[in-house]
């Protein structure tokens, strides 16, 4: 009884089972994430913001244990502030990604954290770096992560084209996350996106009822997936919820 | 200072193993190392104790490593040198001592922590000064 089992503590941690992604386009990057944080089967937070500020034009998306990723992101933010002060200019995305990777790798026995770092800097332009569970660093034009990402690798491979502009990239991120959220139990809620360009960071929010909808099995489930008749919606101005059988 | 980015203290390895004390037959060598004790080979203390004891040191080490990366190889050495300079105390008193300069350098001059309230002597005025001095300076 005098010993505390750290492994059991880790199992009960608040988990960012999640869908995160980042895509690079010509003038910047688009990063996006779902908004669900779970503790076991309880959704601890259904409007989480998983897009974390590291520096003015550098953001990271977090997946894995919420506590671990918050600690790493805090230290990354602290380090980049010091770096910016010493250099006198904004740090590069590679610097940010490298510091996150160092921390993930050197603490690999104690942490479970998968991070995607993305942003824009003067030297390299837009870049996306994927740091999966073991602490490797991989630069890619687009990166997906989290538990929901396994369901959408095929969709991303089939759909991604180089040379897209901002709107097509935003659409790609929106569709991918919506598909991941509809199949993964630990992802859901709404979609939060950031578009990072040289001129600034623009946040986008897509509420849960405006997500793009794909095949929902109308042929099998029939009437139940249709919206309720107009009479109800005429009475009150609350949007009726589709009922599932 | 150990240039490492460890955020949290790692778990210490097991104290001893038969491999270290084995003779040519592969068994524990009693003649050389004394009787075998299982207590040294099994890690009985939990990881929580090590984690809490090494916590402050690990956090401080992380900050020093970041300072090394941003400001240069000299930076942590200078900081540690300053701490040593103010930390040296020629007085050999057994009464509770405060070191304001060290508190300022460590960044705890503006905070009140449990150690400030509870750090009185456990056993009242010292009864055997020589014994206490020996314990303090580990002779």
A107-146 confidence digits (pLDDT tens): 998 888 999 999 999 999 999 999 998 899 999 999 999 9
How close, in Å, is residue A128 to chain B by CA atoms?
23
What pLDDT, on a 0 to 100 scale, did the predictor assign at position A219?
75
* Residue from B4, B5, B47, B71 to probe the interface with A (highest A Cβ count within 10 Å): B5
Q: Does B4 touch chain A (CB under 8 A)?
A: yes
Q: Confirm or reject contact between A59 and chain B (CB < 8 A).
A: no
Residue in the structure block whose two tokens are 């901002």 = A166
Whole-number pLDDT of residue A80:
97
Percent of chain A at pLDDT > 70 equals 85
Q: At residue B84, what are phi and psi to the nearest 5 degrees?
A: -65, -40
Q: Decide which of A116 and A66 is more confident.
A: A116
- Cβ partners under 8 Å of residue B23, min gap 6: B29, B32
Residue of B nearest to A72 (CA): B7
Q: Do B70 and A86 touch (CB under 8 A)?
A: yes
ipTM entry: 0.80
pLDDT for B35 equals 87
What confidence score (pLDDT) does residue A1 get? Answer: 47
Minimal Cα–Cα distance from A242 to chain B, Å? 47
Task: Give me chain B's average pLDDT, please.
Answer: 84
| Percent of chain B scoring above 70 in pLDDT | 91
Cα separation of A113 and A133, whole Å? Answer: 6
- Residue B115: per-residue pLDDT: 82
Interface of A with B in 105-124 (CB under 8 A): 106-107, 109-111
Tokens 């609350």 belong to which residue? A238
Q: What is the pLDDT of residue A157?
A: 96
Average pLDDT, whole number, for chain A?
88
Decide if A18 is catalytic: yes
**DSSP 8-state assignment for residue A16:** E
Q: Establish if A104 touches chain B: CB-CB under 8 angstroms.
A: no
pLDDT of residue A120: 97
| Domain range list for chain B | 1-71
Q: Residue B92 pLDDT more than 90?
A: no
pLDDT for residue A162 is more than 60: yes
Asked if the model's pLDDT at residue A225 lies above 70, the reply is: no
The Cα of B83 is separated from the nearest Cα of chain A by a number of Å equal to 21
Q: Choose between A8 and A148: higher pLDDT.
A: A148
pTM: 0.82
Long-range contacts of B122-128 (CB under 8 A, 24+ apart): B126/B94
How far apart (Å, rounded) are the C-alpha atoms in residues A79 and A74? 9
Quote the minimal CA–CA distance from A85 to chain B in Å.
Answer: 9
CA B95 to chain centre: 22
Residue A234 confidence (pLDDT) above 60: no
Containing A155, the helix (H) or strand (E) segment is helix A153-159
Cβ <8 Å between A3 and B45: yes
Chain B (69-98) residues lying within 8 Å, Cβ to Cβ, of chain A:
69-71
Residue B67, chain A, CB below 8 Å: the answer is yes
pLDDT for A42 beyond 70: yes
Using CB atoms, pick whichever of B7, B46, B67 lies closest to residue A107: B7
Q: What is the 3-state secondary structure (H, E, C) of chain B?
A: CCCCCCCCCCCCCCCCCHHHHECCCCCECHHHHCCCCHHHHCCCCCHHHHHHHCHHHHHHHHHHHHHHHHHCCHHHHHHHHHHHHHHCCCCCCCCCCCCHHHHHHHCCCCCCCHHHHHCCCCCCCCCCHHHHHHHHHCC
Residue B54 has pLDDT above 70, yes or no: yes
pLDDT score for A205: 96
Please tell me the predicted confidence (pLDDT) of residue B46. Answer: 65
Active-site residue, from A18, A38, A69, A197: A18
Average pLDDT score over residue span B55-67: 95
Q: Does A6 touch chain B (CB under 8 A)?
A: yes
């Amino acid at each position: 009884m005098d010993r505390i089992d750290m492994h059991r503590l880790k199992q009960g941690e608040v988990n960012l089972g999640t869908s995160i992604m980042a895509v690079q386009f010509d003038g910047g990057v688009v990063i996006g994430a779902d908004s669900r944080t779970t503790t076991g089967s309880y959704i601890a937070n259904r409007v989480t913001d998983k897009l974390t500020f590291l520096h003015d034009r550098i953001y990271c998306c977090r997946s894995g244990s919420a506590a671990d990723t918050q600690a790493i992101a805090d230290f990354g933010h602290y380090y980049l502030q010091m770096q910016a002060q010493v250099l006198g200019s904004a740090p590069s995305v590679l610097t940010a990604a490298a510091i996150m990777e160092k921390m993930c790798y050197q603490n690999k026995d104690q942490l479970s954290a998968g991070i995607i770092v993305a942003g824009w800097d003067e030297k390299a332009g837009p870049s996306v770096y994927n740091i999966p569970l073991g602490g490797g660093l991989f630069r890619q034009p687009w990166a997906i992560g989290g538990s929901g990402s396994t369901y959408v690798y095929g969709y991303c491979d089939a759909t991604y084209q180089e040379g897209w502009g901002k709107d097509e990239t935003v659409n790609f991120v929106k569709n991918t996350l919506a598909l991941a959220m509809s199949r993964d139990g630990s992802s859901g809620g709404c979609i939060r996106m950031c578009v990072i360009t040289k001129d600034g960071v623009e946040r986008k929010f897509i509420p849960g009822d405006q997500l793009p909808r794909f095949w929902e099995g109308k042929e099998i489930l029939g009437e139940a997936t249709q919206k309720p008749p107009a009479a109800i919606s005429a009475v009150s101005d609350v949007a009726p919820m589709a009922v599932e059988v | 200072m150990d240039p490492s980015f460890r955020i949290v203290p790692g778990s210490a390895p097991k104290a001893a193993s038969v491999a270290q004390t084995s003779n040519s037959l592969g068994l524990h060598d009693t003649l050389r190392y004394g009787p075998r004790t299982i207590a040294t080979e099994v890690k009985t203390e939990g990881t929580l104790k090590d984690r809490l004891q090494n916590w402050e040191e690990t956090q401080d080490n992380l900050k020093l490593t970041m300072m090394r990366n941003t400001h240069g190889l000299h930076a942590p050495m200078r900081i540690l040198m300053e701490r040593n300079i103010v930390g040296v105390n020629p007085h050999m008193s057994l009464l509770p001592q405060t070191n304001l300069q060290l508190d300022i350098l460590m960044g705890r001059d503006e905070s009140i922590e449990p150690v400030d309230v509870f750090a009185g002597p456990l056993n009242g005025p010292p009864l055997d000064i020589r014994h206490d001095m020996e314990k303090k300076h580990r002779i």
